[in-house]
Chains A and B, each alone.
Chain A
């Protein structure tokens, strides 16, 4: 009886997932190479065709966040599609994208002045299914606005990354995940110099999944999880608002 109950629950979960993401294509999945991180997502695969939210506070964190997003993006761009990077006051240096496995000439930058225009451009680009991914750098994002973005990607199945630098408040948004990326000391194995970029990746919120935190390194064009020191779930997860 017990067994069948858990079976039923698993079956129901699958059905609910299928209802929630009706356009999900079986072929398109993102192989991050991070088995443990992928366990946190519903269906054990990185959600594509959705909007992900990244939050950063300091400039160093913003750089780490953009690096992590670029690394994820490189996995999405392997099919020869373009990506669009929309921002106001961009400091991103295109040649560095090459170190994360992206041809910088395949990224189209849209540099705007007003947040309102940024939002409009993000929504418009998310509707274009010919793109691999859209990255938007924003400060504030209200729930309504995030809902609009989510609706746009549900039609086009484009993956959107919203990077919120120094948000005024951490309000609730309709994105599937919320991430926070922080740089941590690299490991060079005793050799002098700076090692590969290494981040503490915190998945603060994920719809239908388990939040978590990992240490991830980007080395030689691949993600690598650093196993030795696992992180506990940060304490603000306990807050319901998350």
Chain B
């Protein structure tokens, strides 16, 4: 289907906004100014001011000399972007693909939309009259390409709807500025006397490229439809969406389950065709009273498995309030990822080690208890026990270094070392006795010390001398002395239990 684009231009965007907020200013000449190099420079002037010869980029002091009654307001730098965003949102009623064209326009992909308004003429008229109704000075045009629509909307005197294939004719009489060129290129063209696009089009491409660079040619091609141009829609397309209207309002959990199952099957069929998998999925239930109930799930790896996704949703169905009944269900996959075709093979070569099943299990747990409850550890290159492991970020993370097997490490490590009292021969011997939690332990066997220094680039503090200790009952402990005897009485701590 040949595409059609609309361009909307707001020549007086900021001043129109000011008038809209302060209707009293409608016929009063006023300007918006901002400081620039120590002077107040005019950034926007309304129609009343412009008729008196006041233009953008003039200095406020000069304007005041021309017209003492001129009102000056501060210009808000981010305002155009904010306004255009809001206007683009508003324009979503005309087409789903709306893009902001900084600094003062909007671009709409209207392919397949105008017939709903009875043709392009009424469609454009509707947009313009509605926006004019809000107090904005607006010009709009529809054409085959973004470039042509943009040019026609800003520079053409009349004929704002360019028929299919009429790009070139529409562009010929327009000035080169209409091609969205850099100022220096326009200046050079101007100097050479190329005042109209018609002068440029007839030239050799090679010569143009040599003199003005590739930018000019590419803009020209875009305007003529020979080069494709992509819009950046404000609302990204949600192609993975399925909809299920219900004949009768649904009020039961069973009904919701049936709807969910159907929607998931539709969604997954499409995903399977495109070799994609869901990472995030939203089920929306539109209630009769206008309320929208929503449940959302996430998966740890892209999935197109209906039963798995259904189980994830099932945990949350109870949170949907059907009230008077649900009319429409939609399921939407805002985040999808490619499922590599080799995935099954990759995971099945370990005998019975079915990674997908484990991933699905973890999804269920994350769905109910939170993803922060699931941990997996990889070795980290630190001797300091608290820092010797790091969290794995995904299920597929492999350890970069091997686990250390040469150092004794306790199977239970206390989250923070607990203080103990010891009887110990000086200076570097293990304790003979220690008291922990009120219990006296007689040391019968001991290993150590293993000195672990602080990593000064991470943390300052005393080193630790670790001892493996076995008491008279055979229980094994990991104790350490913090610091040396040279700096007063060092403290002793228990840090873990060996098996």
Contact = CB atoms under 8 A, between A and B. Distances in A.
B357 A129 contact: yes
Contact of A188 (B377, B414, B445): B445
A103 to B, nearest CB: 7
B499 A194 contact: no
Contacts, number: 181
Nearest to B497: A63
B448 to A, nearest CB: 9
Contacts of B410: 63, 93, 96
Contacts of B351: 79-80
Nearest to A112: B373
Contacts of B499: 63-64, 66-68, 70, 96, 100, 183, 197, 199, 218
Nearest to B499: A67
Contact of A93 (B369, B413, B444, B472): B413
Interface in A68-116: 68, 70, 79-82, 84, 91-100, 103-105, 107-112
B470 A185 contact: yes
Contacts of B362: 108
Nearest to B366: A110
B301 to A, nearest CB: 14
Interface in B444-497: 444-447, 468-470, 472-477, 496-497
Nearest to B347: A130
B411 A96 contact: yes
B167 to A, nearest CB: 60
Would you call the interface of chain A mostly helix, strand, loop, or mixed? mixed
B409 A59 contact: no
Interface stretch (B103-111, B182-190, B291-299, B397-405): B397-405
A94 B398 CA distance: 15
Contact of B411 (A92, A129, A188): A92
B352 A194 contact: no
Given A63-B498, A194-B468, A111 B412 contact: no
B445 A194 contact: yes
Interface residues of A, number: 57
Interface stretch (A7-15, A36-44, A117-125, A231-239): A117-125
B298 to A, nearest CB: 17
Interface residues of B, number: 58
B365 interface: yes
Contacts of A185: 444-445, 470, 472-474
Q: Which among B361, B368, B379, B389 has the greatest number of chain A C-beta atoms within 10 A?
A: B361
A89 to B, nearest CB: 9
B377 A98 contact: no
B475 A104 contact: no
Given A93-B411, A93-B412, A108 B474 contact: no
A133 B489 CA distance: 47
A129 B385 CA distance: 34
Interface in A110-150: 110-112, 117, 120-121, 124-125, 128-131
7 contacts: A60-B497, A79-B350, A81-B350, A93-B413, A109-B374, A109-B377, A183-B474
A206 B476 CA distance: 28
A151 interface: no
A64 B413 CA distance: 13
Interface in B385-444: 385, 388-389, 392, 397-399, 403-405, 408-415, 444
A121 B376 CA distance: 16
A89 B319 CA distance: 29
Nearest to B467: A194
Nearest to A125: B361
B372 to A, nearest CB: 9
Q: Which among A60, A81, A186, A188 has the greatest number of chain B C-beta atoms within 10 A?
A: A60
B119 interface: no
Interface string A164-190: 000000000000000000111110100
B497 A103 contact: no
Contact of A95 (B403, B447, B468): B403
A193 B446 contact: yes
Given A62-B412, A63-B498, A104-B403, 17 more contacts: A68-B499, A70-B411, A79-B350, A79-B353, A80-B350, A94-B377, A94-B389, A99-B405, A108-B358, A112-B369, A124-B365, A130-B353, A131-B358, A131-B361, A185-B474, A194-B445, A197-B476
B127 interface: no
Contacts of B43: none
A198 interface: yes
B361 A93 contact: no
Interface string B335-373: 000000000000000111111111011101100110001
